[in-house]
Structure 1
């Protein structure tokens, strides 16, 4: 790894200043963040992909909310926006996302894209003057049309031509002009632009030309040694043509003949050919209507059942998300989470690519993945990962309790390839939690049946009421959402008397350790009691990433049933289980139940909904205002200020007072 030079540091510093300028502008009383979003919506930005590189985790959601034309699929984008100052780095960022390009030299500012700055917004690009043959060859290929990115619209007008003496190049130029007038664009062009272009455009109230902000521009090309993705309908059609002796073209015999094999032809799985008696257009006309709730922006506004008719496809998408997690692609993770939530909320069995394409949050990438899964029974990236030695090792490490994607990659970089390597070469370097995760690796991979979840929870509640009578408990997590088995057990305890929950986490853990139920305590936190059991104070968006996500008192422990038949075994044969015990004050118990019940995307969107729609800050310790000093908002007491009679009533009041339709736990399964 080479040290960065002063030029790189100066470039990055200028990018930080650009971002700070936008944030400062957003804080002015006259120009709020909301008004900036409205301004952005009124500007005709091209489709933008946001690079997560060099952003803090809490910066990305805020900036994403400012971009009205944001896409999570880089292949859809016209502009790639980010904190990238060097052309070489820009090319690497594109290649890392499997987007390969041929560089196109930047055009002079006078030849670039000019955007209408009138309040009514940009108009259709003006016709361009026919360039000379040498200029045309240098700028765009003969079969290209003008792009709709900032550099691609043309200000020049086309000179008149004598139809009778048009050369071949002139005819092609005329064809491109006709396509331009028809609104066609060159989807092969991609531009990497500094973040300052977007922030400056917002501040100035118009989409600026990109010339001064351009880092790199190129034309998309096929990846090296790319293999065609076969479509079942195409194969069947060509087979019929071969049998009749009337191929569409000679090239089709060459491409699909016996000498060419599908890269997965050695797989034991045979492709699933979908025979259809009607065209795709006819099929689209017969598709069921998309439910209105699916058009909502936030998954917390939709019913998402535990049993989806598309569960097999969803499981494949989850595996893709895990791969992106191991690649530490934050944007990809969010994109797959959004798509998974949309498919999971769709109440009908998907039957065609066009049906997937119309689902909110499912772009061309998800459509292509559906085609792969429908036709071949697998996803190529998932199959490749299963046989990729590095990815197999990363998945092994990622399944260790206490090991995330970053640590899994770090283990691999150290040269470790299995659990024995961790024990032999790194035992003194890994954390105690990771040591326990390795020691009980196989047991902690086992799923916990619902009956055992209930048995463990019953013991915890009994111990709580031995210490102080009156505790109530809700089993949260996957169990409450209706899953047949769980990876761990999550229980939430609360008591109407505030003094009962104060530092109670220490007492309940000591009691369960005394009876041998808790064998190891991984984490013990009493932060909520340390601040007087008050909801976490709202400190604004400038807080450090991750602070205040969930600061309830909690213990993350390893559990083992201490009872067994000692006449049959000398050692305890019961499996070790992961158990989370959470303690909430009564006045915010409803928020705690909500925060620990929903699927990951449900909880993410609930926080986004509270922020964007209600101007509130939500976490499991309570709700605060984002303005007026960050005061706590009581969502759970009745009109007279009396607290809820039980934890589930409090939960329903949270939904009602946030303006959300009540969703039972079994409808919060966003995946």
Structure 2
């Protein structure tokens, strides 16, 4: 916890408000898709926290729902009302009640189409930890969960901590992080996102959400140059430490040209970007967005399907002949012949469509950790002595994740080879993996390779926790997207950094390493462009040192 947080906790006034920060908040729980037992537990949580339950969504400050899609939501409440409220999942209520203060609404946004509105409409309270609306009013504009708080609990199976053969440490060295002291080392006007601090939720999060709509619209229509321009602008704004109230504040920021500057001015004046609002309500935009939410369907395929008349997940299921209620389709996976015949994309699409409602449900941190623990336990049956790191949004501090990324290694060189396939086979035999959408083997790093998709051993799977875990309540086992990545020990930390993200942080890290060092960096390792000689990094901090960069904790790499 940083010094500002300590000061806030010591203040009698702040301590009192934090203790009662949920008391009196008006919440409406939309009962659709919530079974009676869960509903009862939610009401108990609300009552215990002093939350006031109301009978109409119009009267609520926050709406709790398990509905994810606009069409289904409109069956139960007025869309115009929904646009004026933060819509969060039930996990927000249980997590907030347990913590004693409201968690960031945006991290628990229930309906993707209303993610921006959820952030903007979050209750204006100085005790709300991280919501965009109150972020700039907080005495700590960098309020984040500390690295210590974000670290998963120790695994009882005790993974190794060091590789004697290579000198590589296998334990993250990201915990010793003093944000307040580190701030002075970074320049907000730098053109590289890997040299700026980008928190998970920034003081200008509402503006970022509007620009994300613009970026996604260009991406869906196949305009890569525009996508990059918006991505760069978003990353620059994410790193700006103060609330933007004037155009003059962004004149020194990189990548804010005339067009995006005008959008910033519109947002300052009205709280919206007109073009982004137009896209958000466009039938084509919403359809393409929903189609591309399925793994294996990119913008090009989505546009082709749109031209065929497909608009939503139901249309896709009909088109691909997928029945989500047919248990006989339960185990569907890739074989080597599938990969050679080019069936990989279709298998992935069908797999996701089978369990779409499950895998679009956000995953709380505790469940992410339980998934990693269970996978590691099965890996120990296949091969003892491996180490792992949970990466992705979890490692960057997200309270709720879309999927789970785990990078594995073994301290003895070459032992990791072939383990990915063996682990997947083990998980399938245990009925923990129901679908495999991608399976690949390792290829050595090369200075000549142009693709940004790394060549580590990996399996992109649909995973289910076993019934004996605490996340199984007697109902069906929910499906989760889990990516399993295996890296040779000598490139382990390059893989961890690469799979931690964010996308723009990684892009600029690659560019920085090329521009400043004459090296090629990706998840497969660091090689010198001049002769393809590998550069060995023995820890995560060592990667930054080799690249000539100041250390940035994973919680400050949220540049998207």
**Pairwise TM-score range, normalised by the shorter structure:** 0.5 to 0.7
Q: Distance in 1 between matches of 2:498 and 2:311?
A: 37
Q: Distance in 2 between matches of 1:663 and 1:422?
A: 42
2:456 maps to 552
Does 2:311 correspond to 1:417? Answer: yes
CA contact (8 A) 1:444 1:578 kept: yes
2:497 maps to 594
Does 2:425 correspond to 1:510? Answer: yes
Deviation at 1:580, TM superposition (A): 0.4
Instruction: After superposition, give the CA deviation of every residue in 1:378-398 in whole Å (9 maximum; x if it has no partner).
Output: 222222123222222111101
Deviation at 1:502, TM superposition (A): 1.2
2:375 maps to 460
CA contact (8 A) 2:186 2:196 kept: no
Instruction: After superposition, give the CA deviation of every residue in 1:483-527 in whole Å (9 maximum; x if it has no partner).
Output: 11111000011111123201100111111112211111111111x
CA contact (8 A) 1:552 1:583 kept: yes
Moved more, 292-301 or 658-667: 292-301
The alignment's TM-score, normalised by the length of structure 2, stands at: 0.60
Instruction: After superposition, give the CA deviation of every residue in 1:187-224 in whole Å (9 maximum; x if it has no partner).
Output: xxxxxxxxxxxxxxxxxxxxxxxxxxxxxxxxxxxxxx
Q: Which of 465, 480, 486 pairs up with 2:395?
A: 480
CA contact (8 A) 2:215 2:230 kept: yes
Deviation at 1:670, TM superposition (A): 0.3
Deviation at 1:549, TM superposition (A): 3.2
CA contact (8 A) 1:353 1:371 kept: yes
Query: After TM superposition, which residue ranges in structure 1, 4 or more long, deviate above 6 angstroms?
Result: none
Q: Which of 482, 486, 493 pairs up with 1:579?
A: 482
Q: Which of 367, 371, 378 pairs up with 2:272?
A: 378
Q: Which of 198, 209, 220 pairs up with 1:326?
A: 220
SS of residue in 2 equivalent to 1:501: coil
SS of residue in 1 equivalent to 2:238: helix
1:34 maps to none
Change (3 A) 1:580 1:425: closer
1:657 maps to 546
Instruction: After superposition, give the CA deviation of every residue in 1:528-577 in whole Å (9 maximum; x if it has no partner).
Output: 1xx5xxx32222xxx5x52x630000010001123179xx998x523211
Deviation at 1:478, TM superposition (A): 0.4
CA contact (8 A) 1:357 1:364 kept: no
Bigger Rg, which one: 1
Q: Distance in 2 between matches of 1:564 and 1:497?
A: 33
Instruction: After superposition, give the CA deviation of every residue in 1:398-433 in whole Å (9 maximum; x if it has no partner).
Output: 111221111111111122223333333444997121
SS of residue in 2 equivalent to 1:335: helix
Q: Runs of 5+ in structure 1 lacking a partner?
A: 1-288, 637-643, 645-649
Does 2:440 correspond to 1:525? Answer: yes
Q: Distance in 1 between matches of 2:243 and 2:294?
A: 35
2:514 maps to 611
Output aligned runs, 1:76-91, within 5 Å. none
**Alignment length, in residue pairs?**
357
2:248 maps to 354
Q: Distance in 1 between matches of 2:186 and 2:551?
A: 16
Output aligned runs, 1:294-443, within 5 Å. 294-427=188-321, 431-443=346-358
Q: Distance in 2 between matches of 1:387 and 1:347?
A: 31
2:446 maps to 537
Change (3 A) 1:492 1:383: same
